[in-house]
Amino acid sequence: MKMYKSFIPLCTALFLSACSSNYLMTVNTTNTIKEKDQGTFFYTNDTLAVQYSFAGKDGKVYVKVENKLDYPIMWNLKNSALVINGKALSYANNQIDLKGKVNQNVSAFSEDIIHGYFNGTATLPKDMLLIPPHAFVDGRFFDLRDDVKKSVSQAKKEKVVRYGMNGGTYNVQQAKFNIQDSPYILSSFLSYSVLNNGEVTFRTTEQKFYAETLFQTGTSLNNVLEYYTKQGDLMAYKKVKGENALLLGGVVALGAAAGALDNSRTD
C-alpha cells in the first residue's frame, strides 16, 4: 500500500502537466502587402524591400531587409524601433544573421567589384549595419509572447468553433478587431542611409500592423491550421498548466518512493 500511495503525487503532476492553454494572435496590416498563401508581409520602395513574418511559437518577429540599389545602405539599428502601443523597442541589442549575394561594387568610394556569396553573424550592439548592393540581412527580433498572452487574456471573447488539421472541429474563445478598435498596434520604424558617390542620404520608412484576431484554445497547436502551415500573420504562446506541480509532484513522489523502499528493507 505504501508503494501505491507513493505514485499518486507523480500521477497527479503528470496529469496537470498534460493540460495546456494556447494563446494566439493574428496580425493584419494597414500599409504593406500581405502575401495570400503564407501570410507574410511585404513592403518595397525605390531603395529597399522589407519582409515581415510573425510565425512561430517563440514570439519573435522575422525581418528581412534587402538593398535594391547599386550602392551600399547603412541600416541604423539604434534609431530603428518596433513601436508597440506607443512604446518604442530598439532593433539594436539583437543578433542578426547575415547572408546574401554580392555582385556589385562593395563600396561607393571604391571601384573594386566582388562576385560571390557571404554569410555570418553580427552580434550587436552595433549602431549601424552595412547592407551591400543587391544583398540582404535578416534576423528574428524581440519576444512578444507575453504581449500575446496578456492581450488574449484581457480581451472580451466569445465561444466559436474552428476547423482543425485533424479533420474535426475545436472550440476557441475568440475576439476580432479592426484597426480602429484593436488593442494591439505595431509600427516598425526603420532608419537607414544610402551611400552614393560620397554623398549620404538619410531615409526612413514605417510599416504598420495591428492585432486582428485574438483567441485561446486547449487544442494542440499542430491542430491549428494557421500554426501548422506556418502562416506569417500568426503569433502563438503555449502555456502548460501545472508546470510547477510537475516538478514538486515529481520530487515528492521520488521522496515517497525512496521512503517506501527504505521501509521495505529487512535488516
**Which tens digit of pLDDT belongs to each residue from 235-251?**
999 987 665 544 444 44
What is the DSSP secondary structure assignment for residue 178, as one 8-state letter?
A: -
From 51, 53, 50, select the one nearest 39 (Cα to Cα).
Answer: 53
User: pLDDT value at position 250?
Assistant: 47
Confidence of residue 98 (pLDDT cuts 50, 70, 90): low
Q: What's residue 195's pLDDT? A: 92
Mean pLDDT over each residue of the chain, to the nearest integer: 80
User: Quick one: cell of 39?
Assistant: 501570410
For the CA atoms of 80, 84, 86, 87, what is the dihedral angle to 10 degrees? -70
Predicted pLDDT at 99 = 53
Residue 125 preceded by cis peptide, ω within 30: yes
Residue 129's pLDDT band (boundaries 50, 70, 90)? Answer: confident
Total-model pTM: 0.76
Q: What is the mean pLDDT of residues 50-74?
A: 93
Residue 36 pLDDT exceeds 60 = yes
- Residue range 76-99: average pLDDT? 83
More confident residue, 166 or 15: 166
Report the range of poorest mean pLDDT among 13-17, 56-60, 96-100, 221-225.
13-17
What pLDDT sits at residue 144? Answer: 95
Q: Report whether pLDDT(261) > 90.
A: no
Residues in the chain: 267
**pLDDT, tens digit (0-9, with 9 covering 90-100), for 226-235:** 999 999 999 9
pLDDT at 266 over 60: no
Pairing status of strand 87-90 against strand 73-84: antiparallel
pLDDT for 75 beyond 80: yes
